[in-house]
Structure 1
Amino acid sequence: MVLAASGIILENKKILLLQRSNYTEMYAGYWGCPGGRAEKGETAEQNVIREVKEECNLNFSPTKIIKTGIWQERTYYRFLGNWSGEIIIQEEEVIDYNWFSFDSAIKLQLSFDYKEILEILHKNNFL
């Protein structure tokens, strides 16, 4: 089973979402949180720290698991966490980014389970 993780990055009741490039055939042009597949031997926490750094240059420290699940032979984790740094997107995998309120984000074309993630965050007053 493949491991995958993503980081939920929040600031002032807004969420950072990245728009996926055509680098991947799956959900090209859709929006989601920074994340991806783990490298061999990585834990979910190591995976999310590396992926957030690679995709948007932020230092991410996971603090809470918002959701886990299995999707297409992948065990995935959605981490809430603390972050620092300046956003610089990895242009190969990401074509755009922005901070979104719940009302704006929920209208986007969202990849994977991110509509559900937004709803969980909104219900729990994070967004």
Structure 2
Amino acid sequence: MDDERSESGRRHDVVCAVLIRHRQVLLAHRAATNDWYPDVWDLPGGHVESGETGTQALIRELREELGVSISELGDPPVAELRLEDMTLRIWRVDTWLGEPQNQAPEEHDTVGWFDLAEVSVLELASAEYRPLLHRLLE
């Protein structure tokens, strides 16, 4: 997640997914070399590009970052966070094709599955994630 304002001064439109399998969530560890939110666990996703809807962007981001295909997303998202310079919409994803793998090593150094107890002790990119993940994993 990038928490910066673009040159135009507009808010960033960011989308993320909570992939859930066997009561575990998939998180991506942001590389320590990242300019924004380095060395923390984050939800996979990214910026909505010009001309995309949020769902189109998330489908693209999951394919690019994890190598998985999803055909549909629930609407509306399970959460919408308004942070200082961005709006972050988060969807729950329970079904996809392919085995999630780190396809973006320049952004994430690893991905992993975590249960509720493990999520409780991880350093997450946003404090807002913890209650959301608890709700979705319970």
Question: In structure 1, what is the equivalent of residue 80 of structure 2?
Answer: 68
Contact 2:13/2:87, CA 8 A, preserved across alignment: yes
Structure 2 alignment gaps of length 5 or more: 1-10
The residue identity in structure 1 corresponding to 2:54 is A
Match of 1:34 among 19, 44, 56: 44
Structure 2 partner of 1:104: 118
CA distance in 2, matches of 1:4, 1:63: 17
Which deviates further from its counterpart, 81-90 or 49-58?
A: 81-90
Partner of 1:121: 136
Secondary structure of residue in 2 paired with 1:59: coil
More deviation, 59-68/10-19: 59-68
**After TM superposition, where is structure 1 displaced by more than 6 Å over at least 4 residues in a row?**
none
Shift of 1:7: 0.8
Among candidates 98, 106, 110, match of residue 92 of structure 1 = 106
Aligned 8 A contact 1:7 1:62 in 2: no
| Residues 71-80 or 59-68, more deviating | 59-68
| Selected match of 1:46 from 44, 51, 56 | 56
Query: Alpha-carbon deviation of 1:22?
Result: 3.5
Q: Which has the larger radius of gyration?
A: 2
Q: Is the 8 A contact 1:5 1:77 kept in 2?
A: yes
Q: Could you say what the CA RMSD is over the residues aligned between the two structures, in angstroms?
A: 1.6
- Looking at structure 2, the residues matched to 43 and 24 of structure 1 have their Cα atoms a distance apart, in angstroms, of 26
Aligned-pair CA distance for 1:88: 2.5
Write the distance in 2 (CA, Å) between the matches of 1:20 and 1:106: 18
Deviates more, 1:86-95 or 1:59-68: 59-68
CA distance in structure 2 between the partners assigned to 1:88 and 1:80 by the alignment: 18
Which one has the bigger strand percentage?
1
Q: Name the aligned partner's letter for residue 75 of structure 1.
A: T
1:19 is matched with which residue: 18, 23, 29?
29
Residue identity over aligned pairs, in percent, reads: 25
SS of 1:52's partner is helix
Helix, strand or coil: the match of 2:136? helix
| Alignment gaps of 5+ in structure 1 | none
User: 1:23: how far off?
Assistant: 5.0
